[in-house]
Structure 1
Amino acid sequence: MAKSLLLCLLLLSAYTYVFAHYNHPKTLVSTVTKNPILPIFTFTLNTNEEFFIHISGPYIVRKCNDGLPRPIIPCGSAACAQTRRVNPYQCPTTQNTIINGRCACQATAFEPFQRICGSNQFTYGGGLSMSSLNPRSPTVTFKNVYSLCVPNIFLPDFPPGVFGLMGLAPTALAGWNQLTPPNLGLKKKFALCLPSDENPKNKGAIYFGGGPYKLQNVDARSMLSYTQLIKNPRKLNTYFLGLKSISVTKKKILLAKNAFDFDGNSDGGVTLSTVNPFTTLRSDIYKVFIKAFSKATSGIPRVKSTTSLEFCLKSTKSFQVPRIDLEFADGKIWKVFAANSMKKVSDDVACLAFLNGGNAAEQAVEIGMHQMENILMEFDVGRSAFGFSSALGLVNASCGDFQTQP
């Protein structure tokens, strides 16, 4: 009898382990939408709450205006110390506060559209739920989420339904990192496919934990090229890339050898933005780039610009512009075709979707959302690698074709 009971317990234990292992989600996924009111991309949590995707945000920022007390994170805790390490460099140092006689951690967020700083209580709790690609656990709820609790006044321009900001920076308290061990067990990576305005489906996808990224029955991981992510010790909230050169029609534009390097103040470098709609180049780079692109398109009639984009061309059915190549230090090339280099502003006018950031631009190059649309990007933070595909239109696909349901 004892042996039979022991055997049953062993079998139950094995079954429980296998069942738990089989049901453990490896990938969380959500549909990405471009907001029609404010030029931001959002994805859904808790069934109906939209969160702004901010790849330079150090943590999750959530609206909380119900007046209810929030769990206190002590000022001397490790979590509070982490907020100090990633305090937005645009903002003053955060000061803690006293709640019911206890020192409560305060944190600061930088609102990128109004460019204002706001401090409030850093807290935890209030679970978030998200879809999984595992059919046995199609919805996953992760609890005790660390977040900055902010009043509505801090996000006044955010459209209705946008509940907060999902910070996805390379930081310990970022949204992706709160899904890794010991919290949920996902890998230290996330992937984005941002929908294009020209895409009639106008949907994209965000994945947490890695692939597969199923695109028309193909795992799109096979389409990715990887380059190294570069660290900037003074700007820990930002992903930087090791850009080596820019080419137009496969001819490198002539720039200073250190054009893309950090300067003594840690400014410069090449980064990515889900805030700025178009790629911004520091003036010394922009002027040489525009000259090269103008020469390469000399056979296309110029049109006077009526937008912030200053270089515009007459667009026709046979309209073709040269490819722009971003070559990284490890030899990998991000090929920018017309769909991502030009912005159609009317039926017969298209403008080069690059901006002059001025002589005092914080970054040498900031790759904007238009250049990232309709391609797959993977941020493999665990390996300090950035993966990118070619334009999905080249394989007759779009971001809306990715699987986002089990």
Structure 2
Amino acid sequence: MASSFHQFLLLLCCSVWYLTHISQSQSSPLPNALLLPITKDATTLQYVTKILHGTPLVPVNLVVNLGGPLLWTDCSSRFASSSSRSIPSRSIKCSREKAHDLGTKRTTCPSSAQPCEVSTENGITRMATRGELVEDIVAVGSIAGSKATVDQFVFSCAPTFLLNGLASGAKGMMGLGRTPIALPSQISTALGTQQKFTICLSSSDGILVSDQGPHDSVFGPEISRSVTYTPLFSLQEHSIGVKSIKINGNRLSLNASLLSSNGGTKLSTIVPYTTMESTIYATFIKAYIQAAASMNMTRVASVAPFGLCFSSKGIDSKQLSLKVPAIDLVLQSEMVKWRILGRNSMVRVNDEVMCLGFLDGGLNPMTSIVLGGYQLEDIVLQFDLGTSMLGFSPSLLMWERSCSDFKFDSWPKYSL
């Protein structure tokens, strides 16, 4: 009897220790979560991050391309890394890494001495060229202040002219797309982790964090519980299925097949403001003007590149969600909506004028709707590439927060 009582006490003590340990681990920052700070360039409106690269490790600024297939950099303007290795054209690694390269054209069988080449594009200017695939050491920071190193990270060496149009100081682009050569896949393979990452952008500073545990540890339980999930489409980029659009609760009369054509609705960090196919845009603008008039908003002359502008008189920039029409992107059901409130819809161009941050994307765009960077700011976006799901939070302004708030005392000194 005494022995059974002692066993019960031991079990009780172990259970209390376990629950306490788990509670503490979930309420503190995850030491193994990889962390990349992101800064918005005020001139180009591009989002820029920084990695360490080569031997010795040297910081390199890169423009973040959410749907980009790979990481590319201008190798000619950098130091000669002693650990850089060229990938042969007829190697297994070349064939595997070029699986996404739809631009490859083979006219002759390459020799084993030729370097592996892949189509490399500047997503801003849409200029593309052939780049040489190489592998080298890449290091990124963690929340704990240490760094994780990938010894054989594959990227493309592109010519200097491909840098045209990038933010000042940027030496290439970092692709976060759904390909084996994109950053999330390479990090996942090298470290044996799941293909998940979370990005949180702002008008100043933001972060990209690998998913190595519960989001409560970084963003807090209230924000984490607010996340809504929707399927991701497309083989390479990150697209979602928008079934309909509502303004102030009123559904727009749109052709559903048009919404889903041309790749549906893509999320982009290299397009500053949301673009819509011309017929979608015309219907959208007409409905927005009617909703704005019902709220006594005063229309004024347009300011390029925006097509619809209003007087900012009487509109409190801190309470835009209460003063301008709400936009809902209805996803897989009426219960699943991406709500765009004032902070993510209206752009203040000067002290007197605010403009709707949605642009005409033309009659035959590659994608019917592209959600631009401005519409993604101050929203927690969780990408699970393994399950092809996207989690998105409401605007953090609901909690009087911003993506620029997530900073850590142990922020790596070599980070941006």
Q: TM-score range by the shorter chain?
A: 0.7 to 0.9
What are the equivalent positions in structure 2 for 1:23-42 lying under 5 Å apart? Answer: 26-42=32-48
Gaps in structure 1 of 5+ consecutive residues: 1-23, 197-201
The yes-or-no answer on 1:280 pairing with 2:303 is: no
Counterpart pick for 2:157 among 124, 144, 149:
149
Give the equivalent residue in structure 1 for 2:336.
332
Structure 1: which amino acid aligns with 2:205? K
Which segment drifts farther, 112-121 or 152-161? Answer: 152-161
Note closer, same or farther for the CA distance 1:270–1:60 as it changes in structure 2 (3 Å cut): same
Structure 1: which amino acid aligns with 2:61? E
SS at match of 1:176: helix
| Distance in 1 separating the partners of 2:220 and 2:247 | 34
Deviation string, structure 1 residues 314-370 (Cα, Å, up to 9, x no partner) = 112445111100110144111100000111111111111101112111111111111
The yes-or-no answer on 1:168 pairing with 2:176 is: yes
| Distance in 1 separating the partners of 2:219 and 2:256 | 42
| Distance in 1 separating the partners of 2:207 and 2:213 | 12
Give the equivalent residue in structure 2 for 1:209.
211
Counterpart pick for 2:284 among 282, 289, 292:
289
Give the equivalent residue in structure 2 for 1:386.
390
What are the equivalent positions in structure 2 for 1:216-295 lying under 5 Å apart? Answer: 218=221, 220-231=223-234, 236-262=235-261, 267-295=262-290
| Distance in 1 separating the partners of 2:135 and 2:178 | 20
Report the CA distance between 1:34 and its aligned residue.
Answer: 0.4
Note closer, same or farther for the CA distance 1:57–1:405 as it changes in structure 2 (3 Å cut): farther
Note closer, same or farther for the CA distance 1:48–1:316 as it changes in structure 2 (3 Å cut): farther
Deviation string, structure 1 residues 7-34 (Cα, Å, up to 9, x no partner) = xxxxxxxxxxxxxxxxx96410121100
What are the equivalent positions in structure 2 for 1:13-92 lying under 5 Å apart? Answer: 26-46=32-52, 48-65=59-76, 70-87=84-101
Note closer, same or farther for the CA distance 1:376–1:237 as it changes in structure 2 (3 Å cut): same
| Distance in 1 separating the partners of 2:407 and 2:107 | 44
| Distance in 1 separating the partners of 2:127 and 2:219 | 42
Note closer, same or farther for the CA distance 1:301–1:271 as it changes in structure 2 (3 Å cut): same
Structure 2: which amino acid aligns with 1:58? P
List 4+ stretches of structure 1 deviating above 6 A. 94-99
Structure 1: which amino acid aligns with 2:306? L
The yes-or-no answer on 1:369 pairing with 2:373 is: yes
Alignment TM-score, normalising by the size of structure 1: 0.83
| Distance in 1 separating the partners of 2:372 and 2:330 | 17
| Distance in 1 separating the partners of 2:282 and 2:139 | 47
Report the CA distance between 1:36 and its aligned residue.
Answer: 2.8
Which segment drifts farther, 53-62 or 70-79? Answer: 70-79
Structure 2: which amino acid aligns with 1:350? M
Structure 1: which amino acid aligns with 2:324? V
The yes-or-no answer on 1:308 pairing with 2:313 is: no
Q: How many residues align?
A: 363
Note closer, same or farther for the CA distance 1:270–1:95 as it changes in structure 2 (3 Å cut): farther
Cα contact 2:201–2:404 (8 A) shared by 1: no
| Distance in 2 separating the partners of 1:165 and 1:203 | 18
Structure 2: which amino acid aligns with 1:81? S
Cα contact 2:34–2:141 (8 A) shared by 1: yes
Alignment TM-score, normalising by the size of structure 2: 0.81
Structure 1: which amino acid aligns with 2:387? R
Counterpart pick for 1:123 among 134, 153, 158:
134
What are the equivalent positions in structure 2 for 1:346-365 lying under 5 Å apart? Answer: 346-365=350-369
Which segment drifts farther, 251-260 or 392-401? Answer: 251-260
Counterpart pick for 1:185 among 192, 196, 203:
192
Report the CA distance between 1:50 and its aligned residue.
Answer: 1.8
Cα contact 1:112–1:275 (8 A) shared by 2: yes
Report the CA distance between 1:237 and its aligned residue.
Answer: 2.3
| Distance in 2 separating the partners of 1:123 and 1:97 | 20
| Distance in 1 separating the partners of 2:363 and 2:245 | 18
Note closer, same or farther for the CA distance 1:220–1:164 as it changes in structure 2 (3 Å cut): farther
Note closer, same or farther for the CA distance 1:96–1:302 as it changes in structure 2 (3 Å cut): farther
Report the CA distance between 1:387 and its aligned residue.
Answer: 0.8
| Distance in 1 separating the partners of 2:281 and 2:114 | 49
Deviation string, structure 1 residues 257-316 (Cα, Å, up to 9, x no partner) = 312223xxxx24111111111111111211111111110011211100121111001112
Cα contact 2:61–2:170 (8 A) shared by 1: yes
| Distance in 1 separating the partners of 2:252 and 2:299 | 21
Give the equivalent residue in structure 2 for 1:132.
142
| Distance in 1 separating the partners of 2:224 and 2:134 | 36
| Distance in 2 separating the partners of 1:218 and 1:402 | 14
Give the equivalent residue in structure 1 for 2:414.
none
Note closer, same or farther for the CA distance 1:58–1:113 as it changes in structure 2 (3 Å cut): same
| Distance in 1 separating the partners of 2:94 and 2:210 | 25
Cα contact 1:131–1:405 (8 A) shared by 2: no
| Distance in 1 separating the partners of 2:107 and 2:41 | 34
Cα contact 1:215–1:403 (8 A) shared by 2: no
Which segment drifts farther, 253-262 or 240-249? Answer: 253-262
| Distance in 1 separating the partners of 2:248 and 2:365 | 26
| Distance in 1 separating the partners of 2:31 and 2:91 | 30
Report the CA distance between 1:105 and its aligned residue.
Answer: 0.8
Note closer, same or farther for the CA distance 1:116–1:95 as it changes in structure 2 (3 Å cut): farther
| Distance in 2 separating the partners of 1:249 and 1:111 | 37
Which segment drifts farther, 367-376 or 326-335? Answer: 326-335
Which segment drifts farther, 319-328 or 210-219? Answer: 210-219
Report the CA distance between 1:212 and its aligned residue.
Answer: 4.2
More helix as a share of residues: 2
Note closer, same or farther for the CA distance 1:347–1:113 as it changes in structure 2 (3 Å cut): same
